[in-house]
């Protein structure tokens, strides 16, 4: 699988396929092929025209118009006077032509459809029900002007479980002006709905417990827990608690000892959270079990209730078989991605 997942902050959306008469059709696969396979197709050309129009109408050909990835050598003004956008002698105060922008866009399409698998936990055995991985990437940028804008489509790896197989995740990194262009392109061509992924308190807690329990390389680092709904002087506020890595490892050791001595069938998520919150309450006198975890940040990843997620290079982007062949012992991003399919 591609490293494009690593070190980018993504907004997560869900594409749900609406019921139709052709239940046997693999619409998620069709969507990925439609968007990410043919740069010369009529639909892709139409999408590129909409992208170029968005760039011009929102002044995104200037460094001041871009909300992310601005070039330090060209801050606050128009693009350099020697840019190809003005190679025909046009004044730099003029708007470039849409066709010129479209011709200068550098596009990269890619589909990864690999015979690999993911499991709920890295230690799960291969029981013959391997989950296949398929993703599509649509990436574009204006060289030296606009940084890469990245769209990733992920076909649900989950087979026949609550009809989750009829969903895709859309991960977007870039200027927010391009997001409705891309989502409209899909909705106009397929019978589907696209909504924001909003991870809840339980989702963040499960990600916290999973990484603490399963991380074997001690690469979690310090953990930041952001709690919302904190009542302060009549207003709702947010409190950020930082737990050092040595304390995290201590919690893990204590938790694993209680699992050995106690009931091994207990709920992992509940018990570890209870242990952690009891410790925090003893130090702060705040009832954390009454608050909502709104953001989790560590050296491995960041995930928040606003649907933003970021994976660092301390995690692996590979599937289970590839990880084993490369002796990659890092935690996989695919556990979290799999978890996001169950949010909405």
The tens place of each residue's pLDDT in the chain, 344 residues long, gives 688 999 999 999 999 988 875 555 789 999 999 999 999 999 999 999 999 999 999 988 875 555 443 433 333 334 554 455 655 545 555 678 899 999 999 999 999 987 666 654 444 444 444 567 789 999 999 998 899 999 999 998 765 555 556 889 999 999 999 999 999 999 999 999 999 999 999 999 999 999 999 988 888 999 999 998 665 565 567 889 999 999 888 888 888 887 765 555 554 445 677 788 888 888 888 888 788 899 999 999 999 999 999 999 999 998 888 888 899 999 999 999 989 988 86
In whole angstroms, give the CA distance from residue 215 to residue 260.
18
pTM as predicted: 0.85
Q: To which residue do tokens 């899909």 refer?
A: 186
- The helix/strand/coil state of 341 is coil
| Contact by Cβ (8 Å): 185, 54 | no
CB 108: neighbour CB atoms within 10 A? 14
Angle between helices 268-284 and 201-214 (to 10 degrees): 100
Q: How many CA atoms lie within 13 A of 271 on its CB side?
A: 16
Q: What's the CA gap between 330 and 323, in Å, rounded? A: 8
Q: What are phi and psi of 256, to 5 degrees?
A: -65, -35
Q: End-to-end distance of the chain based on CA atoms, in angstroms?
A: 25
250's tokens: 């201590």
């Amino acid at each position: 699988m591609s490293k494009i997942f690593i070190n980018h902050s993504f907004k997560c959306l869900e594409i749900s396929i609406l019921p139709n008469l052709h239940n046997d059709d693999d619409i998620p696969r069709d969507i990925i092929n439609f968007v990410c396979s043919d740069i010369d197709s009529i639909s892709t050309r139409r999408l590129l025209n909409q992208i170029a129009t968005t760039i011009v109408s929102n002044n995104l050909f200037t460094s001041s118009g871009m909300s992310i990835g601005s070039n330090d050598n060209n801050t606050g003004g128009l693009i350099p006077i020697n840019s190809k956008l003005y190679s025909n002698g046009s004044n730099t105060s003029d708007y470039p032509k849409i066709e010129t922008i479209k011709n200068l866009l550098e596009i990269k399409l890619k589909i990864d459809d690999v015979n690999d698998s993911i499991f709920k936990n890295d230690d799960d055995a291969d029981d013959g029900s391997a989950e296949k991985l398929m993703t599509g990437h649509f990436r574009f940028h204006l060289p030296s002007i606009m940084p890469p804008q990245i769209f990733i489509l992920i076909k649900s790896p989950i087979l026949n479980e609550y009809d989750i197989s009829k969903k895709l995740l859309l991960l977007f990194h870039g200027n927010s002006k391009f997001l409705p262009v891309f989502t409209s392109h899909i909705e106009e061509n397929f019978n589907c709905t696209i909504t924001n992924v909003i991870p809840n308190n339980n989702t963040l807690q499960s990600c916290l417990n999973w990484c603490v329990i399963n991380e074997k390389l001690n690469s979690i680092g310090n953990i930041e827990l952001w709690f919302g709904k904190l009542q302060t002087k009549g207003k709702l506020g947010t409190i950020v608690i930082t737990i050092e890595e040595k304390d995290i490892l201590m919690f893990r050791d204590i938790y694993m000892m209680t699992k050995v001595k106690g009931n091994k069938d207990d709920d992992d998520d509940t018990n570890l959270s209870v242990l952690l919150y009891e410790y925090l309450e003893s130090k702060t006198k705040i009832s954390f079990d009454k608050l909502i975890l709104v953001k989790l940040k560590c050296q491995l990843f960041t995930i928040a209730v606003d649907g933003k997620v970021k994976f660092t290079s301390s995690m692996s982007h590979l599937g289970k078989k590839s990880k084993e062949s490369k002796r990659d012992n890092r935690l996989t991003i695919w556990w979290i991605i799999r978890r996001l399919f169950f949010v909405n």
